[in-house]
Amino acid sequence: MKTVLCYGDSNTWGYATEPRPDNRYGPGERWTGVLAHALGRGWRVIEEGLNGRTTVSDDPVEGLWKNGATYLLACLNSHMPLDAVVIMLGTNDLKARFGKSAWEVAQGAGVLVRLVRTAAVGRNGGAPEIVLVAPAPFRDRLPLHADMFAGAIPKSKELARHYKAVAELEDVHFFDAGSVMKSSKVDGFHLDPDAHASLGKALASVVKQLG
């Protein structure tokens, strides 16, 4: 059996834009659950989503433990050996308090890619296949969190271009989430159930083609 680790934020955790217990989509609704179903019995999918997780930044408001780089190595070693790692982070880096450009957010994602590559957590101490996913762009309105994400909308539309450049530089796989789904109209950046379904199915196609 092969193992894929999905490392992300609230959109990997399954934060719900529709009424659900604990504001979380059920396991089968989340894109990771859709991915697992599409991959079938030959794959084990590990969900590692955390609300508010950034790429490489301590969050002075929501907690220093939101830093994706700080936890990543422990996470990788907990689940090794890994055949593939899917990274989809960057949305929370666009919060106004961090003051990052789209290019800087992508560079943070690149740091995570390098941590995975050098962690020796693949089969026989090698490196797992890595898929860097650019989060889908924000909607043109953020009805619930406009102040928190002030200035983020145009930056979000630039992420895919910069993520692709990082993926090419690091020689890893790239996927643009915005190519198969859109963020929810409810808040402008989380995912509706149909978006989770589309993303999970699309990433299953990507993962199946990995070496």
Whether residue 106 contacts residue 159, with contact meaning beta carbons closer than 8 Å, is answered with: yes
pLDDT of residue 210: 95
pLDDT of residue 192: 98
Sequence letter at residue 22: D
Tens of pLDDT, residues 109-150: 999 999 999 999 999 999 999 999 999 999 999 999 999 999
Confidence check: pLDDT of 57 > 80: yes
Tens of pLDDT, residues 148-168: 999 999 999 999 999 999 999
Class of domain 2-208: alpha beta
Domain ranges across the chain = 2-208
DSSP conformation class of 63: B
pLDDT of residue 193: 98
Two structure tokens written together for 46: 């590990």
Alpha-carbon distance of 2 to 9, in angstroms, equals 23
pLDDT of residue 20: 98
Strand partners, 176: 134
DSSP string, 96-114: GGG---HHHHHHHHHHHHH
Q: What is the mean pLDDT of the chain?
A: 98
Tens of pLDDT, residues 15-42: 999 999 999 999 999 999 999 999 999 9
Sequence letter at residue 87: I
Strands (E), 21-127: 43-49, 84-88
pLDDT of residue 170: 98
Residue environment code for 76-94, b if the CB has 16+ CB neighbours within 10 A, otherwise e:
beebbebbbbbbbbbbbbb
Strand order in the sheet with 84-88: 43-49, 2-8, 84-88, 129-134, 173-176
